[in-house]
Amino acid sequence: MRCAADAKQKPLSMAGNITAGLCALLFFIALGLATVLLFRPFYYFEIDFLNISETSGFSREEIMLNYDALIRWCMPWTRTSFSLPTFPSSVDAMFHFKQVKSVFRIVWILGLFGGLASLLLLFRGVRCGDKARFRIAGRTVLTVPLLLGLWAAADFNRAFVLFHEWIFRNEYWIFDYRTDPVILILPETFFKHGFSLIMLIVAAGAVLLMRLGRKTDL
């Protein structure tokens, strides 16, 4: 008999299934962010696709050198002082990137715990053959790329500004290219593409959960 070992275990409520979806959502967002940052060919492709060398005035090699240094510094295991190989940086910019690093750390911590929590919650479904929780969790995850994607598609510039104002609560993210030329190699369209990739990964995770919910044998 299905779930014989857990006969006394009650299935998750709707709220529990949605909670499992929200936990999975945190994991997929963290996974998407890690992909955008750590899969360097994504940015290398953007250099050519967005003509960043032409618009910034820097060579492809110099752009890659400074971008790689920036991303390495933003990783949680890096403890050195902030500096870029060939670009100067203002005090305000250094403070902003310190905040960015903290945001990344929080996202990955939440993603780690969210992933573990979702596994524990969904594992009950595996043991009991409760496929509905996978479908509900998947639909919960899918609402985010749908809603945020539509909002960002309507006016990404506005969404970009509101995101920074909400997260950082200051104006240090508004760079002057004369003192912080790094902004020239980070055009807004790159962030738009990065956001789109994160939402695509979240959507793929949602589809995976919903497919697991349709299987006859979990």
Identify residue 96 by its one-letter amino acid code: H
Look at residue 216 and tell me whether its pLDDT is greater than 50: no
Q: What is the pLDDT of residue 4?
A: 47
Average pLDDT rounded to a whole number, residues 71-80:
92
Mean pLDDT for all residues in the chain: 88
In which band, very low, low, confident or very high, does the pLDDT at 122 lie, cut at 50, 70 and 90? Answer: confident
Interhelix angle 60-74/14-38, nearest 10 degrees: 140
When computed from its CA atoms, the radius of gyration of the chain, rounded to whole angstroms, is 21
The two three-digit tokens of residue 109, written as one number: 């911590």
Cα–Cα distance, 205 to 199 (Å, whole number): 10
Q: What is the pLDDT of residue 2?
A: 47
- Please state, for a pLDDT cut of 90, what percent of the chain lies above it: 66
Q: Which of 106, 137, 109 is nearest to 25 (CA)?
A: 137
Look at residue 197 and tell me whether its pLDDT is greater than 70: yes
Domain ranges of the chain: 11-214
| Structure confidence by residue, pLDDT tens digits, 80-102 | 999 999 999 999 999 999 999 99
Backbone φ and ψ for 93, nearest 5 degrees, come out as -65, -40
Q: Which residue has the higher pLDDT, 181 or 9?
A: 181
Residue with structure tokens 């005035």?
Answer: 57
Q: Which residue has the higher pLDDT, 169 or 129?
A: 169
